[in-house]
């Protein structure tokens, strides 16, 4: 991922330095396990020496790889040189025990899963923060009236707090899925060339995984099956889709014609090189764009599940790009939304103006039910309300003054609803007499660990 979207903590997880540090720890742990077993020639003293002297230099690894064209061999060669550097001439070299009985995938796959756990932990905390902000803002805007829209058309009154609350619940579901996906990918495998432990005792796998906080794969081939990774990628994509939903909603509400909400516009920020008046939702647009990357990368992970026999390397190149990019992009998206939702600017006066924009049409459903209550059939009631509503729409479309829906209904001899009942119906709060249920449920929502 380009530096522009890479936050330091997440970027470090997918850096070569972090990967090599994990590789080193796995190799050292494997040596300690072998010494504990006493199954090969390594002694506990040699394992302790390896623990103390193990090191690597990224630049030196790169130089070696330029010759070997094999990153694991290059790393092991470099690590071994540091382990043996202070060994007296003529003495056995402790580095000979490093990678004993292992294959490259034992190292790479276990390390990768460890990295994915590290990265998922950051995303989990991001989602917790954003979810808590959405929940808090839901209660802050509990009674902020706005119009609800379906198909982009005004529907019925609601409150802006319900929007925040809906996002909070979705983020909680994302959080639950992320926690489950973290558990699902937290596996290691040190089982040899095709998973038979032909040259290494299963105890080594158990020892290494336990010290890394991973479960040991119950049956790996040469690799840990990629359904683990695909499930995680799918959960990342779903979380990205949530971010897309939030950002898209705010973008739509920031349109000049609507202008009910606006992402924070920083002092000194410029919106357009040509139009000085512009205040564009550029950060939200960035979130929507990056969500496409994360969602598309999920397909890469699904395609990586089907490898040849016990393993091929077709997954490797794709993973090196897609996994890091997905995590880095999603981390950046969530950090943007944390700032935007927390500081989201709302315009209640514009919300009220939009409630009034359609001249009472948003109350049509209540009128329909009131007519039915007077004894009229639903079909006839629908015709009465629709006929008057279409006349109001014609005036709205033509931008001409004319009777609003209530005035037209009062003038319609077929309307059997009393004036007193119309007073009740055309009060927006009449739609919201039961929203306490929504917020009582939201009270129970928690993002705590």
What is the per-residue burial (b if ≥16 Cβ within 10 Å, else e) of 223-259? bbbbebbbbbbbbbbbbbbbbbebbbbbbbbbeeebe
Nearest CA to 284 out of 240, 346, 236, 333 is that of: 333
Nearest CA to 194 out of 156, 223, 169 is that of: 223
In whole angstroms, give the CA distance from residue 376 to residue 383: 11
Out of 151, 277, 309, 397, pick the active-site residue: 151
The continuous run of DSSP H or E covering 438 comes out as helix 435-443
The continuous run of DSSP H or E covering 215 comes out as strand 215-216
In whole angstroms, give the CA distance from residue 264 to residue 343: 6
Q: Which two tokens stand for residue 288?
A: 């929507």
SS3 187: strand
In whole angstroms, give the CA distance from residue 89 to residue 86: 9
Alpha carbon distances (Å) from 69 to 77, 103, 232: 13, 16, 30
- Residue 272 is among the residues annotated as catalytic for this protein: yes
Q: Which two tokens stand for residue 134?
A: 């959405």
In whole angstroms, give the CA distance from residue 338 to residue 264: 12
Nearest CA to 114 out of 29, 202, 26 is that of: 26
Rounded to the nearest 10 degrees, the angle between the axes of helix 202-212 and helix 104-140 is 30
Residues forming beta bridges with residue 345, ordered by sequence position: 262
Q: Which two tokens stand for residue 354?
A: 């939009």
The residue whose two tokens read 């609800």 is 148
Out of 198, 272, 365, 446, pick the active-site residue: 272
Radius of gyration of the chain (CA): 31
- Residue 151 is among the residues annotated as catalytic for this protein: yes
Catalytic residues: 151, 272
């Amino acid at each position: 991922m380009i530096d522009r979207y890479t936050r330091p903590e997440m970027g470090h997880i997918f850096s070569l330095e972090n990967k090599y540090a994990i590789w080193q720890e796995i190799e050292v742990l494997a040596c300690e396990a072998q010494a504990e077993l006493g199954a090969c020639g390594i002694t506990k003293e040699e394992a302790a020496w390896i623990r103390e002297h193990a090191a690597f230099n990224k630049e030196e690894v790169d130089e070696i790889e330029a010759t070997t064209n094999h990153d694991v061999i290059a790393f092991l060669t470099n690590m071994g040189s540091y382990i043996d550097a202070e060994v007296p001439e003529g003495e056995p070299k402790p580095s000979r025990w490093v990678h004993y009985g292992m294959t490259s995938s034992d190292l790479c796959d276990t390390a990768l899963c460890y990295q994915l756990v590290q990265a998922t932990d950051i995303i989990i905390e991001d989602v917790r923060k954003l979810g808590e902000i959405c929940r808090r803002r839901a209660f802050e805007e509990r009674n902020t009236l706005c119009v609800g829209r379906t198909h982009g058309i005004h529907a019925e009154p609601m409150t802006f707090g319900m929007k925040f609350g809906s996002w909070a619940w979705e983020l909680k579901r994302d959080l639950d899925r992320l926690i489950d996906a973290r558990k699902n990918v937290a596996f290691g495998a040190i089982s040899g060339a095709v998973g038979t432990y032909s040259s290494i005792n299963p105890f080594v796998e158990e020892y290494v995984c336990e010290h890394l906080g991973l479960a040991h794969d119950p049956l790996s081939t040469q690799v840990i099956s990629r359904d683990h990774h695909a499930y995680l990628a799918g959960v990342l994509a779903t979380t990205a889709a949530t971010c897309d939903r939030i950002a898209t909603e705010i973008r739509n509400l920031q349109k000049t014609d609507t202008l009910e909400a606006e992402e924070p516009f920083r002092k000194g920020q410029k919106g357009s090189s040509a139009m000085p008046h512009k205040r564009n939702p550029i950060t939200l647009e960035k979130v929507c764009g990056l969500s496409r990357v994360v969602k598309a990368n999920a397909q890469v992970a699904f395609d990586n599940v089907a490898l040849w026999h016990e393993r091929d390397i077709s997954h490797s190149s794709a993973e090196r790009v897609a996994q890091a990019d997905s995590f880095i992009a999603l981390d950046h998206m969530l950090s943007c939304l944390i700032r935007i939702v927390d500081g989201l600017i709302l315009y209640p006066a514009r919300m009220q103006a939009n409630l009034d924009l359609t001249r009472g049409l948003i109350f049509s459903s209540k009128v329909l039910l009131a007519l039915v209550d007077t004894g009229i059939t639903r079909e006839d009631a629908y015709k009465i309300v629709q006929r008057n509503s279409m006349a109001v729409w014609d005036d709205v479309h033509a931008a001409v003054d004319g009777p609003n829906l209530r005035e037209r209904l009062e003038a319609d001899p077929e309307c059997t609803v009393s004036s007193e009942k119309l007073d009740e119906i055309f009060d927006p709060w009449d739609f919201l007499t039961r929203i306490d249920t929504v917020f009582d449920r939201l009270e129970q929502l928690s993002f705590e660990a």
